[in-house]
Structure 1
């Protein structure tokens, strides 16, 4: 007869899996970087599916695609839990709560159909992961970090609002036409162009337009500031921890501590 399984072996296997996932998610080895790049590509493809959801919803294969994406998202969430050193703290993070809600909309698309437009918030959730920006800082495009973050916020807002407008105002126009009308309305409202050929009816429509204009202008201003403001580098001051400084700064402008900002390699 075979010997009974040793509980310690199971425990060691689980611990080994968690250590491996930690190395892949948070490491800087070539294998870890390849894994992080692969997960980023998968996330971008999933976000593309979320954007196209209003145009695919009436197709017979939509539910199969929806459940397939749900399996991928569930596996990714489980891997992040295993890779975390503090699961309870991870559970309380807004990005994790958002990802769990997105998973719920994937598992119950018919019950939570009206909240499907919130799936695109995964783009914002993805942008909150420090690993992406840490890798960007190691490339020649590190100076564009603030611009990239502002673009992500603006794109997330545009697609979330477009999904909301399509769901609650243009659902009677199925497929591509209705979604393009929703996106067109959102862009013209955010930019305050206001051609007036597409408007939202009733008091709810007017209130939606007001909110979109106010938030949209704020995001555009944030993007303009990121593009046109003087360039600064990220270098924490050892004394006061101020993060941003001019590239040629010798002393911290907040506390006067002597800085040793490395020269640009380019």
Structure 2
């Protein structure tokens, strides 16, 4: 097996960049439960300063919903894409996620019953999507993944989205358009103030690989956060503290 290459740290964020940031595992330390993450005030201040310096070309690109992103990080209320590209907000324009089918409500009830057998499992209802977390119950990972795979055929148009100790059932597209973090970044890059800038994207999870591919295709800067692994990213930072230092120095 080939060794995973060591990646250099990213260059500073300059005035010609458009900055895109994943949230959990990148800006915020992962927590046993999604609602237990902590947001340092210095991070909010750095994001606000960068947003001003880059004339608005800073956006969050996350698996969280837009409402949750605002609750965690506003102010500032940044441009953002939520639910892995199913939602997107830029100024007054908001792309909403599709409505959840009735079948997803039934699957959620079944997932809650599965979770009851594994203390520590969290079932996160995201509206159009359903996430099954086992970070606090690692022994439950196999059961939850098997449950999600079995439920998927009952949800036409849905796909499985694996991540760090989580698997998500979510729509594959929104309005007939592919939905992932890469597609969200490309959509931002077609609009001012992002258009014409060099894209920069930092993320930690396999859900961020589509974003890395998108910025690489535009001669951008792709930054893997956390332990090195096989990735399309060209640069790396060891963890959230390093991300804070990187954006703080740039702000």
Rg larger in structure = 1
Higher relative contact order (CA 8 A, sep 6+): 2
* TM-score normalised per structure 2: 0.27
Bigger share in helix: 1
